[in-house]
Copies of this chain bind each other. A is one copy, B any other.
Amino acid sequence: MQEYKSLNAQQRGSLLESLRKEYAAAKGKGLALDMSRGKPGADQLELSDALRDARWVSPPKSENGQDCRNYGMLDGIPEARRLCAELMGHPAEQVIACGNSSLNLMYDYLAQCMLEGAGGGIPWARQESVKFLCPAPGYDRHFVMLERFGIEMINIPMREQGPDMELVEQYARDESVKGLICVPKYSNPEGKTFSEQVVRRLAMLKPAAKDFRVIWDNAYFVHDLYDESDRLWNVLAAAREYGNEDHFIEVVSFSKISFPGAGIAAIAASPANIAAIKARLNAQTISYDKMNQLRHARFFKDAAGVRAHMQKHAEILRPKFRMVLDILERGLGGTGIAKWNAPRGGYFISLDLPGGCAKRTHALLKEAGVVLTPAGATFPYGKDPEDKNLRIAPTFPPVEELREAAELLTLCARIAALEALAE
């Protein structure tokens, strides 16, 4: 395809006209397609259906002889802690096996910082100003959460290797900058993995704030699409070398391993942070759902069991990702109006359009019956400063729906770009 900006006004006009006809025809079909959320598809859920069997919780005793049907073991049953710790690469004593949601773990930890402070500091709710660094585009629910806490968000552009570390280091000199929140592996939405150097610079960071905390949302820690996968450096281990282990709070979840919302989650942190979290948990609950922990620990057995299981997910997901990437290439390749990633894992494809075209593309798609994550959602406060980023979630729709939706996406992007060029 020809670069759009090399077309003259007349060529662009007639191209736009023909694309609009195509769009009108598509709209006439009365479609109802959804590419908006990072949910596994039904075929992926079936991979874990045997998890429902009674045998995983029979007998109901954990390996230390405790009855998982009764209260107790606030930090999780040993086999679940070990499984999570092995996957995360941390000592089990620094890992708490928890409930069904890592988002909930992050929220609760931040609420604790707000109300009790971090590392002995003044509660954030009582500090004049609390700011967080937000590599963007990023995960919309992180931003919703921070906004709800009234934490001021600062955009940090994502580079190829991860967040712009010059900027991070610069902002960290401000004592009111209390932390950073990120998805360091197969980032949401770009599918980028922080490089070793980025992880190391984060690990050695000496922020002005003594109560600085990085929320390391390792959501896609075992969610590889290919044998050749990205490797994420172990940030807790690296930070330990620099005496900065207290800066990092890592969470993971089985939501996209077994069942979303019905899996288990885990939190890992320094011994001091784990002690603080446990002290709060002791006032918050009596124990997490240990039956579900037992179910998961026995079903998956160990890290190798999880990895084998994730290969089955990858087999289902690879064709979907490939198809969307092919459609993007066919529809937008060479036009010079779009950039996108080909991630090796995670749940998203990120599409960058010319500035000012994301909202328009989203609106056109919506009118034609295709739901996409709202334009802007991938940035703090829902505001994409350039209005250019769209997040594609290819996992949930069946292949045929996904094909139709992706094709419409490239059509709408072309229309939006030509309209913008005509202005």
List the interface of chain A (C-beta within 8 A of B): 37, 39-40, 42, 45, 48, 52-54, 57-58, 60, 67-72, 99-101, 103-104, 107-108, 111, 114-116, 123, 125-126, 141, 144-145, 147-149, 255, 259-262, 280, 282-292
Chain B contacts of A114 at CB under 8 A? 115, 125
- Is B68 a contact of A262 with CB atoms below 8 Å? yes
Q: Is A67 touching B54 in the complex (CB atoms < 8 A)?
A: no
List 11 A-B residue pairs with CB atoms under 8 Å apart, sorted by A's residue number.
A39-B71, A45-B70, A52-B60, A99-B289, A100-B288, A103-B284, A141-B283, A148-B280, A260-B287, A262-B291, A292-B292
**Among B39, B123, B289, contact of A289 (Cβ-Cβ < 8 Å):** B289
With A114-B115, A262-B289, A289-B292: A107-B284 Cβ-Cβ less than 8 Å: yes
Decide: A262 and B292 in contact? CB cutoff 8 A.
Answer: yes
Expressed in whole angstroms, the Cα–Cα distance for A127 and B193 within the complex equals: 43
CA distance A151 to B99 in the complex (A): 27
Cα of A123 to Cα of B123 in the assembled complex, Å: 14
* Contact residue among B60, B99, B115 (Cβ-Cβ distance under 8 Å from A115): B115
Q: Which of A57, A101, A144 has the most CB of B within 10 A?
A: A101
Whether the Cβ atoms of A58 and B52 lie closer than 8 Å is: yes
Complex Cα distance, B71 from A42, in Å, reads 12
Which of A72, A115, A280 has the most chain B CB within a 10 Å cutoff? A115
- Which single member of B54, B67, B284 contacts A104 (CB below 8 Å)? B284
Q: A147: which B residues are within 8 A, CB to CB? A: 283
In the complex, which of the residues A52, A99, A125, A287 has the most CB atoms of chain B within 10 Å of its own CB atom?
A52
- CB-nearest residue of chain B relative to A100? B289
Partner of A290, one of B262, B286, B288: B262
Pick from A53, A115, A261, A289 the residue with the most CB of B within 10 Å: A261
Complex Cα gap A290–B126 (Å) = 36
Residue of B nearest to A111 (CB): B111
Residues from chain B with a CB closer than 8 A to the CB of A283 are 107, 141, 144-145, 147-148
A261-B287 in contact (CB<8A) = yes
Chain B residues, CB < 8 A from A100:
99, 288-289
Q: In the complex, A288→B45 CA distance in Å?
A: 17
Q: How far is the CB of A355 from chain B (nearest CB, A)?
A: 29
Contact pick for A39, options B70, B115, B141, CB 8 Å: B70
